[in-house]
Structures are given as structure tokens and as C-alpha cells.
Chains A and B, each alone.
Chain A
Amino acid sequence: MSSLEEKVKKIIAEQLSVSEDQIKPESAFVEDLGADSLDTVELVMALEEEFEIDIPDEEAEKIRTFQDVLNYIKTHASSAS
């Protein structure tokens, strides 16, 4: 696993209070990991902070799984490469 994946997984585990082995690429935050709307807002804020990016609301709505986060950060964050 790349360091980006590890970093993102750690943030998701921390924000949603789940263990890291529960988080699969296709894991959806709300359906699979039990997040509520406030959790997802917090998660997006934590990602913005960690990767120094700004995720607009309409983009944030589309980020529903671990893989979605990785895809978004790979294409948007300069520090991800």
C-alpha cells in the first residue's frame, strides 16, 4: 500500500472511529462505515487540512468511498505524488 493510501486510511479510521482493517477500497462511509452527515463533513475538513486542498461542496458530495478519496486526492493534491 502506498503512503498516500495509508495516510488516508488513518484519517478515515480516526474520523469515523472504525478500525483500519474495516476500510476497503469500496467501503462507503455512510452505508458501510456508519458515518452520519456530520462525520462526512468532518472527514472532508480533515482531508482538506492534511493535503492542503479545498474540496468544493459539489465535489465533496461525490466522495463516498475510500477509493473516491484516493482518486480525488491523486488528481487534486500537489503533495500526493
Chain B
Amino acid sequence: MQISYQGQVALVTGASRGIGRAIALALAQAGATVIGTATSESGAAAISEALAPYGGEGRVLDVRDGAATEGLVEAIAKDKGAIAILVNNAGVTRDTLLMRMKDEDWAQVIDTDLSAVFRLSRAVLRGMMKARYGRIVSVGSVVGLMGNAGQANYCAAKAGLIGFSKSLAREIGSRGITVNVVAPGFIDTDMTKALPEAARGALLEQVPAGRLGAPEDIAAAVCFLASPAASYITGETLQVNGGMYMQ
């Protein structure tokens, strides 16, 4: 299957490294004009460098900042054209057992990983409704389905994405806009490198594929759902986890 996003503008949050970077590159290589966001100037510069050959660029955005989010979406619409593809990838973790979890550990993860998706989706919808076309893909997590000790905040946010996406999919399905989630399993990124060796080993034993996932494995699933070929798939959660968890 040959997928092309020629002439489409894509916004990918958290695109400076890991899964977001792989998604931004894959979309750009297939012809999309990709804007990738990072929280820092250096992150945005790295994205610009990576996407320059394809006409894309990096921008600074803290997804917790609602006004900045609106501003960026407006600026992109003006400079590049209305956003056809939104990939909500930016996320943080503040892992700790619930009894030790501080209010700010909870609030920060919910705000960045869930509330930001609401704000970004709302911001891009006006353009998508007008175009009668749009693709919203949010990066969830296998732990949003399984639960995970020490990640009550993160799991709540990632599970929340699923209910959010199903609701929005129902609201705007008649307008050619699809809303889906890709739920990665254990992927080889900075986020999972931070885990202790013993925890990594124990996790790997749970994966029938016998290996960690690569960011490109996730990018491939996101690219499919973001393509015209996936127009009849909406409100769905696609699990990409090497068989670690099956529904």
C-alpha cells in the first residue's frame, strides 16, 4: 500500500525525540508538510534540522499553555494551510506509588497527557470541519488498558484518551474526520531507558515478539490511521505492543 499525504499539513507534538520524532519523519517522508513541536528552543531547532529536507519545521510549544496552542494552530493555518493531521504525541511521566503521589504529580500528567489533547483537538477542529476532512491520532499506551503500579496518573490520562477519542469520533464522524488512538507497548525510547534493568527484563518476558518495539513500529501505525486509506476507522484504539497485551 502506497500512502501519500501530498499537500496535507500535519502537526505532531513532542516531535524532538523518540516516537514523536519517528512519526514526524515518516509523515514528512510520505509528503506531508510537518510541523513538529518541542518544549525547548533546542528541541525545535533539532526538529527543523530533521524536517528541513521535506519542507517541515520545528516550533516551540508547551502543550499545557492553551493560548500558545491556539496561537500556533492559527499561525500554521496562515503560513502553511489548515491542519489536516493532528498527532497528539507529547507526554510526560511522574511515576510514583499512589500513596506517595503529590497533587502536582497527578495534575501535571493529566494536564500534559490528556487536557492538552482536548485543547489541541478543539483548536484544529474548525479547519477540519471546513475542509470536511481530518485525522486526529493520539498516542496512548498499553498501560492505559492494563494499568501499571506506580503510574496511576499516566494510566488515567492514557485511558482517558480512549474515551475522549470515542466521544469526539461520534461527534464529528459525519464530517470526514476520524479520531483514533495508537497504544504502544514497550518501546525503546528515552522514556523506557529510564527504567531499571531488572524492570526492563521482567517486562520483556511479557512480550511474545521477544523484543522492544522501535519508534518506527509506532510511526507506521500512526501513518496508516492518519492516511486517507483509514477513512472508515474511527474511535478505535490500535495496539502496537508485540503481543504484550491483547484485547
Contacts and interface: CB of A to CB of B under 8 A. Distances in A.
Q: Is the interface of B mostly helix, strand, loop or mixed?
A: helix
B126 A38 contact: no
B129 interface: yes
B172 interface: yes
B174 to A, nearest CB: 7
A42 interface: yes
A61 B172 CA distance: 20
A76 to B, nearest CB: 21
A35 to B, nearest CB: 12
Nearest to A39: B174
A46 to B, nearest CB: 9
How many of chain A's residues touch chain B, expressed as a range? under 10
Nearest to A46: B130
A80 interface: no
A45 B175 CA distance: 15
Interface string B119-144: 00000001001000000000000000
B126 A45 contact: yes
Nearest to A36: B174
Nearest to B175: A38
B179 to A, nearest CB: 14
Contacts of A36: 174
A42 B129 CA distance: 8
B129 to A, nearest CB: 6
Interface in A29-46: 36, 38, 42, 45
The 3 lowest CB-CB distance pairs between A and B, nearest first, are A42-B129, A38-B171, A45-B126
Interface of A: 36, 38, 42, 45
Interface of B: 126, 129, 171-172, 174-175
8 contacts: A36-B174, A38-B171, A38-B172, A38-B174, A38-B175, A42-B129, A45-B126, A45-B129
